[in-house]
Amino acid sequence: MKLMNRQLIAAAILASAATLVQAQTTIKLGWTTADSKVDPYAIAAHYFAEELEAAAPGEFNVQFYPNHQLGNDTAMLQAMQFGTMDAGVITGTQVGTLESAFQLNDLPFLYANNQQAHKVLDGEVGQTLLEKLDAKGIVGLGFPEAGFRHTINNERPIRTPEDFNGVKLRVQPSDLFIASFRAIGANPVPMAWSDVFTAVQQGTVDGLEIPLPVIYANKYPEVTDYLSLTSHTYNALALLMSKQTFNKLSPETQELVREAAKKAIDRQRETVASNNGNVLDQIKAAGMTVNEVDDVEAFRSKVANVYDEYRSKIGADILDKALEQVAE
C-alpha cells in the first residue's frame, strides 16, 4: 500500500510538471546584431525576457537568436507574419519596407535629441505607426532605440556636406536613406548588414552610417579610421511580435506582454543612453579619430527635398504631427 501511495504521488508530481511545461509559452526572439552587453538590440531582447519573467514567473520560455540566426530583418519580419518566429527586435528602417509610415523615423535631422524622439514615438504618432502593423500580421509593442546614427569611414573626417563627396558609404537598403545621402553628396551603397564588415575591410565601401554602440559591439574600430558625429538619424528600433503568437495568448496575458515591453523599453533606453558616453571613450581608445560636424543646418538644408518626396509615402498627417511636436 505504501509503495502504491508513493507511486501515485510520484505520478501526480510528474503530471504537474508536465502540465507546467505544456503551459509555458515559448518565444523565439531574434535580432541581427551581436549578443553583446552594449548592443542595443541585445539589451532590448534581454530586458524584454527579464520583464516577462518578472511579471509571470515560469510562464514564458524566451529563446534568443542573435546574429542573423533567423535571417536578416526582412526574413524575420516575414517569419513573424507567417507565425514561424514569435518576436524580434527589428531595425526601424526595415520595418519601413513593410509599412511605409515607419519611414518617418528615417528622415534625416528630424529629431534634435532623444527626448524629442520619445515624445513623438511614445505618443499618438508612435501608436498610429504600431497600429498600422496589425494588418500586416504583426503586433507592435514599442520603440527601443540604438541612439543616433553617425558616420564612420576610411577616407576623411566629415565636417561639412562637401566632405561626403565621392565617399562610398554603405547605407541601409532603403530608398529614403539612398535619397538622403545622395542629396548630401555621398555615393550611397545599399547593402545587407551581414555583408558590411567584410565590405569595409576589403575596401568595397569606404564606410557606413551606424549608431555608437553598434560600432563598438561589432568591432568596427578594427577596420575604420574616422568617426564623425553627424547625428543624422535617430535609430528607432521596433520590438515586435507575431500576431499569430500574440493571439494565442489570453487577453490578460496579452496585456502583461504589452506592459513588460513598455518596462523593457524604458530600461533599454536608459541603459543605451548611459552606455553611449563610455562607448565613445572606448572607440577613441581603440584608435578612431572622432570629430563633431561644423554646422548641422548646412546638412539639413541639403536634404529638404527628401521631406517633400516622402511626405505622401509616410502620410501627411503623421509627418505634420511629428513636425509639430518636435517644434514645441
Residue 284 has pLDDT above 60, yes or no: yes
Residue whose grid cell is 532623444: 114
Compute the average pLDDT of residues 252-258: 98
pLDDT attached to residue 5: 56
Superfamily designation of domain 2-327:
Bacterial extracellular solute-binding protein, family 7 (3.40.190.170)
Q: What is the mean pLDDT of residues 254-281?
A: 95
Helices (H) and strands (E) in the chain, counts: 14, 10
CA distance 184 to 243: 39
- Determine the Cα–Cα distance for residues 60 and 41; give it in Å rounded to an integer: 20
Res. 19: pLDDT tops 60: no
Contact 191, 205 (CB under 8 A): yes
pLDDT for residue 89: 98
Q: Please say if the pLDDT value at position 48 is more than 90.
A: yes
* Confidence category of residue 217, pLDDT binned at 50, 70, 90: confident
Give the pLDDT confidence score for residue 23 in this predicted structure: 66
Query: What's the gap between Cα 196 and its chain centre?
Result: 17
Distance CA 115, CA 164 (A): 28
What average pLDDT does the chain have? Answer: 92
pLDDT surpasses 60 at 4: no
For residue range 120-157, list pLDDT tens digits in order. Answer: 999 999 999 999 999 999 999 999 999 999 999 999 99
Q: Do 30 and 49 contact (CB within 8 A), yes or no?
A: no
Average pLDDT over residues 15-42: 79
What residue spans define the domains of the chain? 2-327
- In the predicted model, is pLDDT for residue 159 greater than 80? yes
**Considering the entire predicted model, what is its pTM?**
0.84
State the pLDDT at residue 20: 44
Q: Which pLDDT does position 22 carry in this prediction?
A: 47
